[in-house]
Chains A and B, each alone.
Chain A
Amino acid sequence: GAGVSQSPSNKVTEKGKDVELRCDPISGHTALYWYRQSLGQGLEFLIYFQGNSAPDKSGLPSDRFSAERTGGSVSTLTIQRTQQEDSAVYLCASTTSRDRMAEAFFGQGTRLTVV
């Protein structure tokens, strides 16, 4: 596609339910990031995928969060047993770079609201 695509754009869920957020990176981009942005705040790193290497999961806030990237392309971020503090915009970005030297292209984000 022309850019990074994320779905859904908005998600309202009840506390305790599981949610899945999807990211379609730019074709050919080997690196994919997930970030979380709370209202008026900066970007909090969650997880990073690079090619077939083991992902860098060091930013995941708890074991309720997991992510996978199938076939080196589409990625899903899963949040189990959602809590109100999980409410935020979840941003996905992709890049061609192996060494963090290239521009990151961001999707429009998924706004998650846990009620």
Chain B
Amino acid sequence: GQQVMQIPQYQHVQEGEDFTTYCNSSTTLSNIQWYKQRPGGHPVFLIQLVKSGEVKKQKRLTFQFGEAKKNSSLHITATQTTDVGTYFCAGPVDTSRRALTFGSGTRLQVQP
């Protein structure tokens, strides 16, 4: 079925190392959103990308939307313990369904 895949499922890094999570859709997306869920919390919106090849930055976080609008990435430079959580991408994958489809998520653990 139409879906959004994320890799890796889990990553453990030392504080100060970089981290990247990748999101791949089986269909072309009109837009993609990224969310962060802290342990025990609920997903919180980070950013939305709309244009092909778009790159947006939020401090140490860099978000990219692929040229074909079927993949996206989130890169964190010099991770901190506050970056711990699960990062989800989400998009309108299924045009017959009006809801956002969330990726499986990447859980980031940062070792101090």
Contacts and interface: CB of A to CB of B under 8 A. Distances in A.
Contacts of A33: 99-100
B102 A42 contact: yes
A48 B42 contact: no
A44 to B, nearest CB: 8
A43 to B, nearest CB: 4
Nearest to B103: A42
| Majority DSSP secondary structure for residues of B touching A | loop
A91 interface: yes
Nearest to A42: B104
Interface string A23-51: 00000000001010000111101001010
A58 B92 CA distance: 14
B92 A100 contact: yes
Query: Which of A43, A101, A109 has the most C-beta atoms of chain B within 10 angstroms of its own C-beta?
Result: A43
A56 B95 CA distance: 12
Interface residues of A, number: 24
Contacts of B35: 104
A50 B88 CA distance: 23
Contacts of B30: 99-101
A105 B46 CA distance: 11
A7 interface: no
B31 A104 contact: no
B48 A56 contact: no
Contacts of A100: 30-31, 91-92, 98-100
Closest 4 A/B residue pairs (Cβ): A48-B99, A43-B102, A103-B45, A106-B42
Interface of B: 30-31, 33, 35, 41-45, 48, 50, 88, 90-92, 97-105, 107
Interface of A: 33, 35, 40-43, 45, 48, 50, 56, 58-59, 91, 93, 99-101, 103-109
6 contacts: A43-B90, A43-B105, A45-B100, A56-B97, A103-B48, A108-B42
